[in-house]
Amino acid sequence: MFSNFIKQFSSVLYVQIWEDRLKVTDVTNNESFDDAPIVVIQTQEKGKKVISGIGKKAANSVKENEVAINPFSHPRALLSDFYVGEKLLQHAFKNLSNIKNLRPRPKVVMHPMEKTEGGLTAIEERAFRELALGAGAIEIKIHVGKPLNIHGFQFEEFQGQKKSDPSGEEKSQYSSNVATFLVYLVIVILALWYFGD
Q: What is the pLDDT of residues 94-147, one digit of tens each?
A: 989 876 666 788 999 999 999 999 899 999 999 999 999 999 999 999 999 999
Q: How far is CA 128 from CA 8, 53, 124, 172, in A?
A: 23, 23, 6, 27
Mean pLDDT (whole number) for 146-156: 88
Among residues 101, 128, 95, the alpha carbon closest in space to that of 112 is found at 128
pLDDT at 33: 95
β-strand partners of 51: 41
User: If residue 23 lies in a helix (H) or strand (E), which one and from where to where?
Assistant: strand 22-26
pLDDT at 161: 65
**CA distance linking residue 80 with residue 92, whole number of Å:** 18
Among residues 86, 78, 83, the alpha carbon closest in space to that of 124 is found at 78
Domains of the chain (ranges plus CATH)? 2-164 (3.30.420.40)
pTM for this prediction: 0.74
